[in-house]
Amino acid sequence: MEEKEGTRKGFKAQSLIQTIYLCVVLLLLVGSLFLLSDLKGKLLYHYDGLNDHIYQHLKLKDYYLNGDGDGDFDRIGDGFYSQIELDALTKEKKWGIYSIFQLRTSKRSFQDQLDSFWKIKSKPSGIHVLRTIDKGVAIKYKGKVVLNGSLMIPEKSFSNNKLQAVVGSASQLKLNGSFVKAPMNLSKLKDQFVVPEVDEEFRFRESEINNKIITNSFKQPTIEITLESNLIEDFQISGNVIIKSSDIIKIANTAKMNNCLIVAPRIIVEKGFKGSVQILASEFIKIEDDVQLDSGTTIFLKTKGDKGMVSVSKNVSINGNIIVMDDVTQDITESFSKLILSEDVLIKGDVYCQGVSFLKGEINGYVYTATVGTLSGSEESLNVISDVIINEPIILNRTGLHMEEKDGESKYNVISKMF
């Protein structure tokens, strides 16, 4: 009996312990559920707040770029901010012919701060797909020429409301537009190529660079690298970086470059290169075969009264503008520089040349040039246009050039998002 009684008491004690254990487990589970529910609520609040912050950040970016304000947030007023509960800081930095727009926002009831950088340019609207100056000599055509837009060319060019073919040549012309008499001077270009000043502590010689992979945010100070080898090879350079030389720079097809500035008297982009760069030279620029230059690219030759040349070889694609101008020319009638485009070239942007443009391939943009010409070997024929297609561009998705006499649209256009 005593043994049974002890066994019974042992069972009761064990059951009590199990009951207490189960209660503790249940309490822990209930507590965990409350904690998880609270954590879920906090996470949802965080992500909902973050999503709202991102949305309002982009909304504010559009507000700025679309010209709804005057581009100065200090003058928008607190009323605008109170609606979206944001504090905002904006800054613009000139970068080649574009600007880098920085937007920083912090939500008043939130901890996170958002920064974004955008390469921007205002959107002009051109009128004539081809515009030259009038030197009293007619422009003629030969080969296959397609001009989808109006022309502003010398008056002698359109006798009987037709463009005349070169005598004895196999010629075909398709013109979808009208003729307007050209002026005596070429329009002056408002766009300038700005190379930012760099603090001494961020200037380096090539031999001082140990790592050829350089990524520099536009939040950071600009880095300037002076080349000693004159060759950009096996470099991976992206962002807020300027590469300079006092002689010549060759960009090898093994280089990977994005958004940086290249500045030298002479610049060569070697066969097969792919990337996005803004190039400024004072003597010549040569783009070799099969090069692909992506959106935001600029080819800018600015001579000092001497002969200069931009040469674009076969099967090259340039998503950007080409500019050939004389730094000392005041009354723009004509310079000595040349722009030479080869066959199968595709330009998605405007062309501006104060000298002679030897046009080939396809141009989706407006062409402003003192005169045109063709090449047959080393023989030049001026005032002749041949084997080229020029299309009036789609205004919505382009950033062309601005002329002084016509501001075009004042609204900004985003070229690309930076980091």
> How large is the average pLDDT for residues 257-267?
96
**359 close to 382: Cβ distance less than 8 angstroms:** no
Asked if the model's pLDDT at residue 408 lies above 60, the reply is no
Kindly tell me the sign of the dihedral angle through the C-alpha atoms of 207, 212, 218, 220. negative
Average of per-residue pLDDT values in the chain: 84
pLDDT band at 184 (very low <50, low <70, confident <90, very high): confident
Whole-model pTM: value is 0.85
Place of tokens 């008056």: 155
> How large is the average pLDDT for residues 270-283?
96
Tell me whether strands 346-347 and 361-364 are parallel, antiparallel or unpaired: parallel
Highest mean pLDDT among 47-56, 287-296, 378-387: 287-296
How far is it, in rounded angstroms, from Cα 122 to Cα 199? 28
Q: Render pLDDT for 330-346 as a digit per residue (tens, 0 to 9).
A: 444 556 789 999 999 99
pLDDT band at 132 (very low <50, low <70, confident <90, very high): very high
Backbone angles phi, psi at 11, to 5 degrees: -65, -40
Highest mean pLDDT among 39-48, 366-375, 376-385: 366-375
pLDDT band at 1 (very low <50, low <70, confident <90, very high): low
**Strand segments (E) across 28-156:** 86-95, 98-107, 113-122, 128-131, 140-148, 150-153
pLDDT band at 74 (very low <50, low <70, confident <90, very high): very low
> How large is the average pLDDT for residues 396-406?
76
At position 75, the amino acid (one-letter code) is R
> How large is the average pLDDT for residues 197-216?
92
pLDDT of 34: 66
pLDDT band at 360 (very low <50, low <70, confident <90, very high): very high
Tell me whether strands 150-153 and 309-312 are parallel, antiparallel or unpaired: unpaired
> How large is the average pLDDT for residues 267-293?
97
Across 277-286, 304-313, 381-390, least confident range: 304-313
pLDDT band at 257 (very low <50, low <70, confident <90, very high): very high
Across 35-39, 59-63, 117-121, least confident range: 35-39
**332 close to 185: Cβ distance less than 8 angstroms:** yes
pLDDT of 222: 96
> How large is the average pLDDT for residues 369-390?
91
> How large is the average pLDDT for residues 53-64?
83
Residue 153 contacts by C-beta under 8 Å, 6 or more apart in sequence?
A: 130, 131, 132, 134, 139, 179, 180, 182
Instruction: Count other Cβ atoms within 10 Å, centred on residue 334.
Output: 17
Give the angle 412-418-419 at the CA atoms, nearest 5°. 145
- Nearest one of 97, 127, 130, 170 to 357, comparing CA atoms: 130
Q: How far apart are the first and last CA of the chain?
A: 85
Asked if the model's pLDDT at residue 374 lies above 80, the reply is yes
At position 177, the amino acid (one-letter code) is G
pLDDT of 403: 85
What are the extents of the domains in the chain? 2-120, 128-409
pLDDT of 122: 82
pLDDT of 160: 73
Q: What is the CA radius of gyration of the chain?
A: 32
Q: Render pLDDT for 8-58 as a digit per residue (tens, 0 to 9).
A: 555 555 677 777 777 777 777 766 766 766 666 666 656 777 888 888 888
Looking at per-residue pLDDT, the higher value among 198 and 45 belongs to: 198
> How large is the average pLDDT for residues 402-415?
72
Q: Render pLDDT for 226-254 as a digit per residue (tens, 0 to 9).
A: 999 899 998 999 999 999 999 999 999 99
pLDDT of 70: 45
At position 181, the amino acid (one-letter code) is K
